[in-house]
Structure 1
């Protein structure tokens, strides 16, 4: 059973979009989750527990077209946490 906090995060921040060829990598998804937790005054799970919760929720990483592992295909960010994550990320 998916932890309620993760279910709410996925509902608030993730859209399934099969036209999105790039998807989201695991690090980006965790960063988005941390932003969501901050905005919602929740304590984030550690990265390893977060990834386990995603697997329980039925999300699995795949190789993208370039052979990179760790991509959640067909997902994109949405909502205030996505804006917060993008504005506060540094490349």
Structure 2
């Protein structure tokens, strides 16, 4: 059986936890994939093809409040850190009492 780009991505970036109520919504899952592609210098596939490729790998979402959620999944690894760091809004330090650098550290620590 040949390895697929999506199969490699899933092995590198996702852990499955049956006992968790959490999961990844489609936008987060695709954003994680984009981070993985950028870090690995791979050409990403469009989001519609990504959805189909996940299904071919046996990864199917559930619908929750009109959103596609992939239950029991959590992000791990360098692509997860990259995604989180680059997804945290850049607030000015005057808008919050917490320095931006500390917010980013907390975000990265939450996935480590």
Give TM-score, length-normalised by structure 1: 0.88
8 Å CA contact 1:32–1:81 kept in 2: the answer is: yes
User: Which structure 1 residue ranges, 5 or more long, are not aligned?
Assistant: none
Larger Cα-atom Rg: 2
Runs of 4+ in structure 1 displaced over 4 angstroms? Answer: none
Would you tell me which structure has more strand in proportion to its own residues? 2
**Pairs within 5 Å for 1:28-47:** 28-47=28-47
How many residues align? The count is: 89
Separation in structure 2 between the aligned mates of residue 14 and residue 2 of structure 1, nearest angstrom: 20
**Please, what is the CA RMSD of the aligned residues?**
1.8
Give TM-score, length-normalised by structure 2: 0.73
8 Å CA contact 1:59–1:72 kept in 2: the answer is: yes
- Change over 3 Å in CA distance of 1:33–1:2 after alignment to 2: farther
CA deviation after TM superposition for structure 1 residue 73, in Å: 0.3
User: Which structure 2 residue ranges, 5 or more long, are not aligned?
Assistant: 90-112
